[in-house]
Each structure stands twice: as C-alpha cells, then as structure tokens.
Structure 1
Amino acid sequence: MDALTHPAQDPPAVTHLRPLDAAPAEKENLASTPPESPLAMPQQSLSRFDVEKRHRGVASHRDFSRSIARLLVFGGGLALTGYGAYQMYEVVAVGGVTILEWALLILFVANFSWIALACTSGLVGFLWLLFLAPKPPGLPAELHERTVVVMPIYNEDPARIFGAVQAIFENVQATGLGDAFDWWFLSDTTDPEIFVAEEQAFLAMRRRLDDRGHIFYRHRPKNLHRKAGNIQDFVTRWGGRYPQMVVLDADSLMTGHAIVTLAAAMEADPDAGIIQTLPLIVNRNTLFARIQQFAARIYGPVIAAGVSVWMGRDGNYWGHNAIIRTKAFAEYCGLPVLRGRPPFGGHILSHDFVEAALMLRAGYSVYMLPTLGGSFEESPPSLIDLSARDRRWCQGNLQHLRVLPARGLHLASRQHFITGIMAYMASPLWMLQLFVGIILVLQASYIRPEYFSSDFTLFPAWPRFDAERSLNLFALTMTILLLPKVFGFALALLQGETRRGAGGAIRLTLSTIFEIIMSALLAPSMMLIQSGHVMHFVFGFDTGWDPQRRDDGSIPFKAIIRRHRSHVAMGFLTLVAGLSIAPSLVAWMSPTILGLILAIFLSWATGLLAVGLALRKWGLLLTPEEQKRPPVVARANELAQELERLAAGNPGGLAAINSDPVFRAFHLACLPRAPKRRHGDISSEWALADAKLAEAESMKEALSWLQPKERMAILLDRKLIARLESLPAEPATVGAISSAR
C-alpha cells in the first residue's frame, strides 16, 4: 500500500563523473546535434478521418474492472446529481417556480454535477488504492530500444534546468541501463543572455559527464507554435532515431527507476501510444505553494487513481513526465491550425489533451501508471503566478470547444475535453448562481409579491423557499465537495509512511483542516480570476505566453493591490448588500465574502517565503518528500546551486562570445546553416545591430548601445559575430591610460 507514496528507492549516485569545474577536454567535439533522421508529421484533419488507417491492436485489452469503475463513477455521479436536482427543486418549488428560480435550479445542477462526478471518482480511487493497487515493478534486466529524454525550455534558469537533467541522467546511469537513453535540450529561448548561458551550461555539462554522444542541444531562433511546435520540430528532424521519447517540462524531475520503467512498459506494450505518470509537487516553500504541494500529495493520488481506473486505456495526457511512441505521434498527432483568429482560432495551446485524443483516434492506448512513483514537478509560488498560468490554460481549454466535435474521436476523449472546459466554466457558473440567489433573496425581501395576478390561479404566487431543506442541501453539497479530500486524508492516515512523513496523525489532521480553510478562503478570488479569464476570451482577446515564474519569492505589494482591489471591492459590496437584504444571507455567503474582503492580505501572506517556512518548522503542511527528500530532488537542488555559483564568475552574453575563442567556436558550430538571404531582406534588429557594431570602438561601448533583440540578432548571424569578435574589450584610450600607469 505504501508503494504509492514511497516507490522503489533511487539507485545510488554515479561516482565516475568529473567535478563541476573540470577542465575541458583537449579536443572539444563541437557538434551539438547528431545527423538528422526525419519523420513526417502531417497536420491532422478534424473534419475527416479514415478508419482504415487506424492501428490494429496486437493484444486484447478487455478490462472488466474498468467497466465496473465507469458504472460506479458515472452512475453514482448521475444518481447524486438527480438527487441534488430533486432537492433543489423542492427548495424553490414552494408556491410555484419562477423564471429566476428555474435559472437558479439549472445553474445549481450544472455545478453540482461537476462536484458529484469528482466525488464518485475519488471514491473509486480510494477503494482501488486501498484494496487493488499493484506494487511498482522492479527494474527490467535490459532494454531493447533507444529512448530519448527531451527537455523543452523557453527562457528558463539554465542552472536549474541543467542541474535537474544532470541529476536525472546520473540516476538513470546508476540503473545500469543508461546506454539506452539519449538526452536533448530543446531550446526556444529568446533572451540573448539566457541563450548564451544555456550553451555554456550545456558545454560544461558535456565535459563534466565525459559524454560519449548521448547529450545534445538544439536552439530554435523563433518560438513557432510554442511548446508543441518545439516538440514537432524535434520529431520532424530527429524523431526517426528514437522509437520512443520521454517528454519533460522545465520543472520536471524523475527518478531513474521511473524513466527506465516507462521505457520497459512502452517496449512491452506495442499498442501503447502514451504512458503517463503522476507527478508530485516538490521544492515548494511559500505558503501558497506548500498548500498546493500538500493537497497534491495527500489528495492527488486518490483523485488520479480514480481517474486512471475508470479511464483505463482511454486516458489523457498532461504534456510532460510521460513516454510517447514517436512514430505514432508523428503519424497521427500533427496538430491542426484552427480557423479564425485567436483566442478561439489559430494554433492549439492546450495541445496535450488534443494529442491524447488523436492518439486514441488512431487506435493506440493512452493510460497512466498512478502507483509508479518517482515523478515530480513544481508549482507557482503565489496566487498571482497561478493566475498567469491559468490564463494560458483557460484559453487552451476553451479552444477545445472547436475540437470537441472532431470526427472519429473516442467518447472518452470528448469527455476529457468537456472536463477541461468545465474546469474553467465552473467559476462563472458559480458566480452566476450566487448572483441569481442574491437577486431572489432581494426579490423576496423588498419586492411586494403579486398575490393574485391577471391569470386565473387558485393560489397566490410569490417567491418562497423551504429553509430547512435548503440547509440540508447546503450540507449535502459541502459533504460531496469535501469527500475527495476526506478520502485522501483517510488513506494517508492508513499508510504508515505517509502518515509519519506528514508529521504524524495529529499534524496531518491539523494540516488537512488548515488546507481546507485556506482553500475555501482563496476560492472566491480564484472564481473571479477565472471568470475574468473566460470573459476576456469570450470577447476575443488573446493571451501571451510569458515564461512561468518558478522560484520562490514575494510579489511587490503594489502589484498585489492592483490585482485584487476589485475583488475586495466586490466583497464589501456584497457584505453591504447582504446586510441590507437579510443577515441570514450574509451568514450563508460568509466564506465567499470573507475570502474576497481578505483577498489582498491572503494573496500577499500566502506568497511570502517566511510564512511557508515557519509552518514547515511547526510541522504543518508537511509531505513525505519534505521529510525525506528523494535523492534525485536533493541532487538537482545541489547541482543548481553549484552551477549558479560557477556561472556568476564567468562572462556571459556577447562578452563570452567576444572573450572566449573556444566557446565562440562551439557557438558558431551550433548555429544552423541558414539559407542565403535575399538582397534587401533585412530585419530592423539586424540592421541596427550591424550599424552599432560598425560604430562601436569597444565591446563596452557596443554593449551599452545594443538592445536585447539586437543582441539576439548578433548571436544568430555569423557575419555579425565576426564583427563582434574584432572589438577590443575596452576603448583604446582606456588601455593607453592603463599602460601609462
């Protein structure tokens, strides 16, 4: 049972590596990529699909338990929703149902069905983990196929990225099966300083690991189609070299056991297209991030197991920490471009759901190994950072409205899309339900009822509610909403290692209560934020794709005030309106009102590093991975700190190109052979960079003039690099004065 929370131990660290500050090899291999081995990745059609081209399964995968799980999840969810709808109807049916009451009933059913399905899915996950979950498999004796591990990066901290991959590399090498893997950094970085730092980190990593051709780096000058385009570029150029690929995210960590097990599982299952792991959150320190980390660790396994059991082999893909069959991915998962302009048209943002749907449509299986363990990720450090990420995810999930009716999709895939859409539509539906409820109470309190209308009726009609039944329904709703957390808490209590890793039964109980209270207070702000995102896209506004802020640290208080002042204003407005209507309304809405009034304080306090660390010191919100840090996580953190110290002592950016001939030669060797430029085809950044380099008398002067886009133009052009190389570090006059002294 504890296999889920404490998987097989990481293998011992590799001991034959060079130190971080090792001297370069005498003869540097300048090639950063191997010869290309292209795979065609045609764009898929959403309106046509040839069933005859589907993959024919090699083995039978009938699963009686999956059918039982689906009956329990969907049948139970439907039964709960029907019961809740009936009770709500009885609440509003006293004296007849008005149009507003019908609206309230419909909104209630939409929201209630969502939490009912989550509840029954959590119940199935709890029972499966308690009685049926298998133990994680041991390491395979050998691997027959070559697997590539790819890390797409976009303006990320190089020390953290390269430290993480080196830690994973060492862990895989220690299994004795490291020769079956290649490692690729797929950079779409547009910041010139980070671009140079990535190449420096890659070159240093290859020297340290005494690499024999397993570690590669590719940089794309333009971030076309974002992460999906980054992966597609790799597949269409080098995908033919690798039967399968493990896709990481910029905050991913995985143990050698997890990666090797995924590779073995893919080899053993020729019908598998994508095999997904369950990433747990680690390395979080702010209060907000530690709340997420605790919730993911205690409740996440139950929720994920329930989803995995009823999905079976018709599962979903979360975009990272999974293994993919490369040829099938290339043949069937080329993303279409949606007609029209963003936000609902253009390139698909939430590509992972669509790729899973296309893989299922092609006849391959997509499933999860929820008890594998050894898969980790990070989370945003504050509510505002989560909001920025949610904005992108919201647009991507709402785009799925365009993909939902695609021809040939599996029914499970359509359900996945609906679930993803509802994850964001639930917030505006909840807000509408609150508004309609307030209007009804206002109507009942201040508007004189029309006892006898012009229409013939035997009884008068006015808005009334069954107060006792309403309270019972509220209690039922809260119970169903909290039950998945209760299941996770109960399972953690039963699992000895998890219970001890969370600080013991008392601290685990206190942490769970604290998490529930904080989540309830933060929920109203998230409701308004997500509702704002939905409305933003409904009115046709597109979102950007800035890199996610991953490190801990507070946001300026002024920015927090700007982000939440409207939430506080709405909280006070609701309080005043509620008091003027009926004190009972304020009591009913007190969690929502309190969460909005305290929005600025909550956002500020939960984003503070000191608050999160203080709770950890007191033993609250602890997770087993905090108490006993997995070796791969500890090693990645250690390497990141060492790499940051080393990078601080070396020149970066254009100065490194100018002053280090070995690095300059490597950088030039990494540049793609661009097609010959047509006469007159000159970008403004290139022209300005060329002019400034021509006038500069030193590197110092050039650096003071060049803007980031101009620096990037230099880094991507051999002619401009040659001109940069010829510049002295300091102006001649400064050198002369120094000589005289």
Structure 2
Amino acid sequence: MGPVIRPTADAPGTDHPDRLPDPLPAEAPLAMPVQSFAEAPAAAIDTPVRTGRWRRALVMVATAVLTYAGVDEMYEVLKVGGVTILEGIVLVLFAALFAWVALSFVSGLAGFAALLRGWRDNLDLDPDGPLPTVKARVAMLLPTYNEDPQTVFARLQATRESTDATGSGAQFDWYILSDTTDPAVWAHEETCFLAVASYTPRLFYRHRADNHARKSGNIEDWVKRFGGSNDFMVILDADSVMTGDALVRMAAAMEQHSDVALIQTLPVVVNARTLFARLQQFAGRMYGPMIAAGVAWWHGSESNYWGHNAIIRVEAFAACTGLPILSGRKPFGGSILSHDFVEAALMRRAGWRIHMAPTLRGSYEEVPPTLLDFAARDRRWCQGNLQHAKILPARGLHWVSRLHFLTGIGAYITAPMWLTFLVAGILISLQAQFVRPEYFPKDFSLFPIWPAQDPVRAAWVFAATMGLLILPKLLALFLVLVRRDTRRGFGGGLRASAGLVVETFMSALTAPVMMIFQSTAVAHILMGQDSGWQLQHRGDGSIPFRDVARRYALPTAIGAAMAISALLVSWPLFWWMTPVILGLVLAVPVAMFTNRSASARPALLATPEDLAAPPILARVHQIAVTLPGSGDEDPLVMLRNDRRLLDLHLACLARQAPRARGRVDTDYAVARAKVEDAASFNEVVAWLTKPEKRALMGDRDLVSRVVAMPPASALSSG
C-alpha cells in the first residue's frame, strides 16, 4: 500500500513538511439575503420551458385514471346496503393512499420506458463521452457533525485524488466544515487535517463556534465568508464519495448550461455492514435507477435537491436561498430542517433550472446500519418535511416545487393513514361481528364477507393494489436482466431474481414496523416534540437485545392487539391480515436478525459494487487505516502534548468571529471559573465536563492559559 498522501509539485509546504498549513484561504464574502415567502421576487433569469408539458400531463392523467378506477372499484365493494360512517372513512383513506401508490407506479413506469430506450437525462449529460476540461473554480464542501474524522478525511482525500487524476484537480478547492460539538472529535479532526493538509493543496478546515441552523447554517456561513471565490460548489455528506470523472462532467455541464443552478446525482449505496443495510443497498441499486429516471424524465428543469452529492451554482444559491426563521415554536417553527427541498424551490422560483442526472456514475453514499438508526434519521426528516406545510403557500413557487413539498409530507402522513385504514377495517369487522349473528360463511374462505360488502371485488382491489406495488420491482429486474453488464454485476440473472424475492419478503416484514415508527413520529411532532440534532451511527449495527426489545415493544404490542381483534371476528380475517400482523409480532427477532453483520461478498443481495468494488472505495479504506486514530486521549492533553496541533487550533480560533459581548455561555462561564480555581493542568482536565471542555477549546486565550499550566507532578515535586 502506498503512502497516504501523494505530494504534488505545486503543493504548498512540500519543501517544509513541518510548516503549519493555513486552515483557511483569504475571505471572499458573498451576500446571502434572507428570502421572503410572502412576496415573489422578480425572476433572476428568464428560463424557457425545456421539459415537454406533455410528459407531466401524461403522468398526471394516468395517475388520475388509475386512481378513479381503484376508488370506483372500492366504492362498489362498500356501497352494497349503503356506506356507513366507518366505511366512508375507509373509502376516503383508500382514495388518498391509492392515488399515492398510483403516482409512484406511473412515475416508475415512465422511468422504465425512458431507460429502455436509452434516455440519459434532460441535460443529455453523457457519462461515457470524452472527459471535458473544467475552467471554473469548484468548491468541495463537506459539512460534518461529530462524525469519525478518520473516515471523513479518507473519503474526501480519495475523492480529491480521483479528481486530480482527471487533470482538472487544480480547479477544485476542498473544505471540511465542522459543526462538531464533541471536544475529542474536534481535536481528532484537527489531527487528521494536519496529516492530510501538509501535502495537499487547497485543503481547508473550519470549525464553527455557533452551529445555528445546523447544516444549512453551516453552508450559509461558508457562502457569506468564502463564496465569492468559487463559481460552483459540490455539497457532500460525511459518508459521501464521488469520482473525479463524475465531478468534472457535472462542472462542465454547469459551464455549458448557464441557466442551470443545480444538478443532483443519484448516489449509489455502498459498504453495507449489516443485513438491514444490505437490503437497503440492494433495493437502491436494483430499483433506484428506474425510479430516479422516471422522476427526472417528467420533473425536468423543476427537479429536486437531496442535500448532498449535488453541484450548485454559488451565485444562484447566494442570491435565492437565504432561509428565514419560521415563526412559531418548534417543531414547526425555528430553523428549516429539510432545507434542501426549499433551496431548490427558491432557486427555481427565481428562474434557475434544477436538474437530476440519474445515469451519471461515480456518486456513492452509505445508509444507517439498522432499522432503529434509520428510524432515528427518518424522525428528523419527518419533522423537516412536515415543516414544509408552512412553506407550501409561499408566493411564486412553481407547481412542481409545491408537488415536491406535498410528496415529502405525504411520505410520512401516509404511515398513520395506512394504520388508520387498517384499524378502521378491523372496527368494521368487529362492529359487524357483535351487532349481527353471522358475518362469515361456515365454509372456510380467505376473504371475509363483511356486512353489505362484495368480497370478490375486495379481492380484486387488493390484487390491483399489490400489483401496483410489485410490478415496478419486476420492471426494474427486467432492466437488469436485459443488460449483460448489469446482469453480471448482480451476479447473474438467477442471483438477481433471488435477491429481489428476498428483499421483497424482508421489506414486507419490516414495512409494518416502519409504519408504526413513522406514525409515532408524526404524532410526537404534532404534539410539539422537537427531534433535536442526533449523531448518525454508521457502524456495524451492534445493539443490545434489551434496547431492541424496549424500542420494538410498541410495534409488537400493536401486532398482538391486531391479531386478537382479528381472531374475535374469524380465522379468515386473521389470515387476511397476516402480512401486517406477522411483521409486527416478529419485530424483535426480525430486528435482531437484520442487525447482524453481513458478508462483504454475499451469495444473495449482491450489487455490482460488491462484486467489483470501484477503485475509489478501496482507496478510502487504504487511506483511513493510515490516518491518526482517535484513541482515548483527552483533547486538552492532545493540545498540550502536540505543539503543531496546538498552533493549528489557535490559528483556527484566530479566524473565528469574536464572541458576542453581553451573551453569557453557561458552559464557558463555568469552565473559566474552574480554570481560575485549578492549581494544575491535571485538575482542569479532571474537573471539566465535555460541554465545558468544548467551550474552553473555543477561546484562544483560555486554551493558551490552560496548556501552559503546570502538571500536578510539578507541584508535588516542588
């Protein structure tokens, strides 16, 4: 294995590797005015409609026709003898849910047709053509929050090396934008920066003292301080990796299309370490390209932004996306959480085009290792998407942008709607059971005959709904099977087909649990509970059985209640509801099973990236093992024992904005008082809590004073 960093001829400091790297470049401020949702601004540019209106008309009409057919059939099921109140509730819920399924089906069908005929994207971005040359300056921004610095820097460094290999690397600037609050992780970030920056040109590190507005505030801070130096910026997540080929092609497309503000890639999930993550990875790799191609085909220049692995025109972003603080209390008030949807909508409102490039290769990400970790992240997204209800009435938004908000909200409110739909169906059966003497035939039948309902039509409605859910998966499999290289990437047609069966079965088991988690999240948010800002877990998914049992107790209890209620009516109703009941009752064992570590080269659920890992992913692992590890050393001890680390830390603090006078930080005040009372460096280390150490490390004078204090051994020997 080669060295971690490959020195280049123009790398600053290569003649003097001990020279302290400058953590930040000269500032180039760029104004980012706060936008108004009450008034529509004048369009920044006049963009003609590039996507045929017929595409959207086709999708909407097809969705409406399918929805009408499904709702009409369901009405025929319920209308016999008149529609009761409970049956009316079921019909309304069914209409909304079926429309949701129909839109997803039609969009997936459009993606199937587009990929089958070789469609790429609305920018005609050729992933296989000659590699262009980039002239614009591109900033690579990696916001991080208490993530493992070793892997964060390894991913960024591997991406930088790949970009340098294209010949356009000199046009790229690299930024680690830290919002980290853990003092040990903060010191480790600076240690890794020292290891990489000494031989890497144009690599910068900034730690933000006040991490207001979370990720959106982090990016806003960069734009206001340094945005004037770059034409474009690429936003990465802490788990993002991108090839230089993809980055150069995206930047060249932005240069070619001066009215485009954003190009979103389709990140491929990699490095799954648990069975749950592998299921998500397989599903994303199998179905993701078709789904993404479908929405890109009809969204056109009104596509969406997912917050990472996308390139953005800095000028458009600065002028259009200064986010206001929403009125009211959390969780609906305050900083906008799901800012990416809003930023895309605001840039489109000003006339800029927003595009997706679903066929561009070389964009990667990871997923949470367990369903609990997935649900924790999903809880934050849920709150952010529900916040969009306050932004929906904003003036001047394109109707497709409003549709993005509605679908984002619908992604979460459909969970309690499904739950209500199931409960209402059970109540109808229970009501019928205890009001009338007989409701099911004496001969066994899979389909319950509720009073004044048509069981045959009900079976057809159920079959049609399942068809709309399963057929897109089969179409995605067909696209894999008819392409030789893709089929081989999945290990052959038989393994790909078997993987689809396994993934579908496991998804059916976990879907009811996710329905309960999302329903609970929606209920908590509506009751005013804020999600906070939690660290994302990216490990091997190891969760103690006690914690699993505690977290899955509610789904298990609801499953048991559904089973008992169904049995009170009849065995046929119980068997009818088995898919939902089974997933809920078996929630704990299924969770323990899917939390298990997965093989790096599985027999089933293999993806092309498993069987032939892209070189850039292997390079990430090579770099990570050679970077400084975290260890157990106290961050203040690290600063005291490493003079270069201390000098870098003080240099970073010197570039921070001064602390606002008159605002008292309790942790800082307590830390300062403890330092005043301490007689040695060891006492400071022992007395300070983690938040107090973080506050102390943010004050240049206090850090210098503490590291200069004598150790306890010096006092005792004196």
TM score, norm. by length of structure 1: 0.90
Asked if the contact 2:50–2:301 (Cα under 8 Å) also holds between the matched residues in 1, the reply is no
Matched, 1:171 2:162: yes
Cα separation, partners in 2 of 1:677 and 1:475, compared to 1, 3 Å: closer
Query: Which whole-Å CA distance do the structure 2 matches of 1:68 and 1:340 have between them?
Result: 41
Cα separation, partners in 2 of 1:406 and 1:680, compared to 1, 3 Å: closer
- 1:696, distance to aligned residue in structure 2 (A): 3.7
After superposition, what is the alpha-carbon deviation per residue over 1:246-293, rounded to whole angstroms, capped at 9, x for unaligned? 111111110000111111011110110111100010011201000000
Q: Which residue identity lines up with residue 174 of structure 1 in the other structure? A: A
Aligned match for 1:193, one of 180, 184, 193: 184
- 1:638, distance to aligned residue in structure 2 (A): 2.0
Q: Secondary structure at the match of 1:323?
A: strand
Query: Which whole-Å CA distance do the structure 1 matches of 2:355 and 2:169 have between them?
Result: 25
Aligned match for 2:235, one of 247, 251, 254: 247
Q: Which residue identity lines up with residue 298 of structure 1 in the other structure? A: M
Cα separation, partners in 2 of 1:681 and 1:252, compared to 1, 3 Å: closer
- 1:444, distance to aligned residue in structure 2 (A): 2.0
- 1:588, distance to aligned residue in structure 2 (A): 1.2
Query: Which whole-Å CA distance do the structure 2 matches of 1:111 and 1:682 have between them?
Result: 51
After superposition, what is the alpha-carbon deviation per residue over 1:633-676, rounded to whole angstroms, capped at 9, x for unaligned? 11112212222xx3357956111211222221121111145677
Asked if the contact 1:69–1:124 (Cα under 8 Å) also holds between the matched residues in 2, the reply is no
Task: Give the aligned partner of residue 620 of structure 2.
Answer: 636
Q: Secondary structure at the match of 2:316?
A: helix
- 1:137, distance to aligned residue in structure 2 (A): 4.5
Query: Which whole-Å CA distance do the structure 2 matches of 1:36 and 1:535 have between them?
Result: 45
Query: Which whole-Å CA distance do the structure 1 matches of 2:630 and 2:37 have between them?
Result: 50
Cα separation, partners in 2 of 1:404 and 1:715, compared to 1, 3 Å: same
Task: Give the aligned partner of residue 434 of structure 1.
Answer: 422
Query: Which whole-Å CA distance do the structure 2 matches of 1:185 and 1:431 have between them?
Result: 43
Cα separation, partners in 2 of 1:401 and 1:239, compared to 1, 3 Å: same
TM score, norm. by length of structure 2: 0.93
Asked if the contact 1:443–1:463 (Cα under 8 Å) also holds between the matched residues in 2, the reply is no
Matched, 1:684 2:675: no
Aligned match for 1:54, one of 44, 50, 59: 44
Matches within 5 A, 1:623-702: 623-643=607-627, 646-647=628-629, 653-672=635-654, 682-702=664-684
Task: Give the aligned partner of residue 444 of structure 2.
Answer: none
Query: Which whole-Å CA distance do the structure 1 matches of 2:657 and 2:140 have between them?
Result: 30
Task: Give the aligned partner of residue 125 of structure 1.
Answer: 111
Task: Give the aligned partner of residue 505 of structure 2.
Answer: 517
Task: Give the aligned partner of residue 407 of structure 2.
Answer: 419
Task: Give the aligned partner of residue 709 of structure 2.
Answer: 727
Task: Give the aligned partner of residue 182 of structure 1.
Answer: 173
Cα separation, partners in 2 of 1:729 and 1:495, compared to 1, 3 Å: farther
- 1:449, distance to aligned residue in structure 2 (A): 8.9
Asked if the contact 1:286–1:606 (Cα under 8 Å) also holds between the matched residues in 2, the reply is yes
Q: Secondary structure at the match of 1:670?
A: helix
Aligned match for 1:32, one of 6, 23, 27: 23
Query: Which whole-Å CA distance do the structure 2 matches of 1:204 and 1:353 have between them?
Result: 36
After superposition, what is the alpha-carbon deviation per residue over 1:21-80, rounded to whole angstroms, capped at 9, x for unaligned? x999356244211111111111111110133x43123xx55344xx34323322211111
- 1:448, distance to aligned residue in structure 2 (A): 3.3
Q: Which residue identity lines up with residue 134 of structure 2 in the other structure? A: L
Matches within 5 A, 1:141-540: 141-207=132-198, 210-212=199-201, 214-448=202-436, 463-540=451-528
Task: Give the aligned partner of residue 80 of structure 1.
Answer: 66
Query: Which whole-Å CA distance do the structure 1 matches of 2:657 and 2:503 have between them?
Result: 57
Q: Secondary structure at the match of 1:184?
A: strand
Matched, 1:45 2:29: no
Q: Secondary structure at the match of 1:182?
A: strand
Query: Which whole-Å CA distance do the structure 1 matches of 2:33 and 2:606 have between them?
Result: 47
Matched, 1:716 2:698: yes
After superposition, what is the alpha-carbon deviation per residue over 1:680-705, rounded to whole angstroms, capped at 9, x for unaligned? 76533233323333444443333222
Aligned match for 1:573, one of 550, 561, 565: 561
Q: Secondary structure at the match of 1:133?
A: coil
Query: Which whole-Å CA distance do the structure 2 matches of 1:681 and 1:72 have between them?
Result: 57
Query: Which whole-Å CA distance do the structure 1 matches of 2:609 and 2:242 have between them?
Result: 13
Query: Which whole-Å CA distance do the structure 2 matches of 1:675 and 1:278 have between them?
Result: 37
After superposition, what is the alpha-carbon deviation per residue over 1:505-561, rounded to whole angstroms, capped at 9, x for unaligned? 111111100100100010111001100111111112211111211122311211111
Query: Which whole-Å CA distance do the structure 1 matches of 2:492 and 2:203 have between them?
Result: 43
Task: Give the aligned partner of residue 445 of structure 2.
Answer: none
Q: Which residue identity lines up with residue 659 of structure 1 in the other structure? A: N
Q: Which residue identity lines up with residue 45 of structure 2 in the other structure? A: H
Asked if the contact 1:30–1:670 (Cα under 8 Å) also holds between the matched residues in 2, the reply is no
Q: Which residue identity lines up with residue 689 of structure 2 in the other structure? A: Q
Query: Which whole-Å CA distance do the structure 2 matches of 1:583 and 1:676 have between them?
Result: 71
After superposition, what is the alpha-carbon deviation per residue over 1:414-443, rounded to whole angstroms, capped at 9, x for unaligned? 111111010001101101110111111112
Q: Secondary structure at the match of 2:647?
A: helix
- 1:140, distance to aligned residue in structure 2 (A): 3.8
Task: State the number of aligned residues.
Answer: 696
Task: Give the aligned partner of residue 442 of structure 2.
Answer: none
Matches within 5 A, 1:601-640: 601-609=589-597, 612-613=598-599, 619-640=603-624
Query: Which whole-Å CA distance do the structure 2 matches of 1:663 and 1:395 have between them?
Result: 39
Q: Secondary structure at the match of 1:368?
A: strand
Query: Which whole-Å CA distance do the structure 1 matches of 2:663 and 2:561 have between them?
Result: 58
4+ long deviations beyond 4 Å: 13-18, 648-652, 673-682, 733-736
Cα separation, partners in 2 of 1:98 and 1:724, compared to 1, 3 Å: same
Asked if the contact 1:340–1:346 (Cα under 8 Å) also holds between the matched residues in 2, the reply is yes
Q: Which residue identity lines up with residue 415 of structure 2 in the other structure? A: S
Cα separation, partners in 2 of 1:17 and 1:285, compared to 1, 3 Å: farther
Asked if the contact 2:276–2:369 (Cα under 8 Å) also holds between the matched residues in 1, the reply is yes
Task: Give the aligned partner of residue 105 of structure 1.
Answer: 91
Query: Which whole-Å CA distance do the structure 2 matches of 1:138 and 1:193 have between them?
Result: 46
Asked if the contact 1:255–1:375 (Cα under 8 Å) also holds between the matched residues in 2, the reply is yes
Percent of pairs with identical residues: 47
Query: Which whole-Å CA distance do the structure 1 matches of 2:585 and 2:136 have between them?
Result: 57
Give the alignment's Cα RMSD to 1 decimal: 2.2
Query: Which whole-Å CA distance do the structure 1 matches of 2:377 and 2:304 have between them?
Result: 20
Q: Which residue identity lines up with residue 661 of structure 1 in the other structure? A: R
Asked if the contact 2:636–2:707 (Cα under 8 Å) also holds between the matched residues in 1, the reply is no
- 1:188, distance to aligned residue in structure 2 (A): 0.7
- 1:678, distance to aligned residue in structure 2 (A): 8.2
Task: Give the aligned partner of residue 127 of structure 2.
Answer: 136
Asked if the contact 2:78–2:453 (Cα under 8 Å) also holds between the matched residues in 1, the reply is yes
Asked if the contact 1:185–1:218 (Cα under 8 Å) also holds between the matched residues in 2, the reply is yes
Asked if the contact 1:449–1:463 (Cα under 8 Å) also holds between the matched residues in 2, the reply is no
